[in-house]
Amino acid sequence: MDGVSKASDIIVGMHTKPSFHVGGIPVYGDLILAPMAGFSDLPYRSICRSLGSSMSYTEFVNVDELSKGRSGSPRARQKLCYTSNERPVAFQIYGHNVERIVSVAQRLQDLGPDIIDINMGCYVKKIAERGAGAGMLRKPDLIADLMDKLTKVLDIPVSAKIRLGWDNDNRNYMDVARALHDHGASLVAVHGRTKSQAYSGRADWDAIAEIKQALSVPVVGNGDVRTVSDIESIKTHTGCDAVMIGRAVIGNPWILQRRDRQEVTLPDRLDLVRKHLALNVDFYGVEKGLVLFRKHVARYIEDTPAGVRKIRVPLLTCERVSDFEELLCSLGSEIKGPIGASV
């Protein structure tokens, strides 16, 4: 991970004083890569930290997976790998059983994260309907109990990422936010939709603003941030301490530099693709690293001109790093200047 080994130093250097604190932990900067299953792994977090993400959240991990054996399943442990230059780093976990969440969080603290974050926003049916993720939103009393127990046994801050409720008939976000705040949460990140909405409709920034006005801990706003202007809009509208960006960062990490993707030249884009691929191969090995990288490269080049898109299929199927590099070289000879200008 040497290519981005000074990511946290770069972020701190860009800001002379912390933007906010999580407990006693200073955070420099107001943009954060959202935790996303299959995307916010160590390689991509490293890329995003180097471009401006102010802290790192791991992919969410099921506490049941972390309860297997003495140290959890290999897949679960890999999701919690991080480097020291990512700090502050939050381990995001989810589950439906309070005692198991607390037990796992205690063990995870020994791995050195700065923060334990509880996912209360995942809308996926098999998770939410078991009472985990957004399923927890239906039980503010259980959330209060969980926070009481976590803050009692942990020496590091606890945070949570929530939605506005289960559905439009159960928008209990203020009850949930107060349960978190009053029982020890050091930060609350809010996606401005309900569980039933998933990503449909518009994010309710008014609700995020209401939460921000009611809490004394940092509130992070999330939802419908796709452009640089959206960043400033949600901050102005909600007063949030920071902005968490998820889907819009995939294939466009430059938004964390406050650069819209149409401003990014092809050479800049290809340079980052190469760095990202190298990090993937270094972390996962050649075979798995290439396979997992395909979904990223598809997004990196999705708005390129027709002359470039013709090599999309070969890029998504090549099995050797040398073949990938050859294709990237041919890609670089196709066009020059900002990519969006040719679309």
- For the annotated catalytic residues, the residue numbers are 122
H helical segments located in the chain: 7-14, 42-51, 63-66, 74-79, 98-109, 125-128, 140-153, 173-182, 205-214, 228-238, 266-284, 286-300, 306-309, 312-317, 321-332
Rounded CA-CA distance 229/232 in Å is 5
Closest to 77 measured CA to CA, from 126, 42, 122, 36? 42
For residue 55, what are the CA distances in angstroms to 20, 82, 111, 116? 11, 12, 17, 13
**Beta-bridge partner residues of 94:** 62
* Cis amide leading into 35 (omega within 30): no
Helix (H, G, I), strand (E, B) or coil at 161: strand
Closest to 33 measured CA to CA, from 44, 22, 21? 44
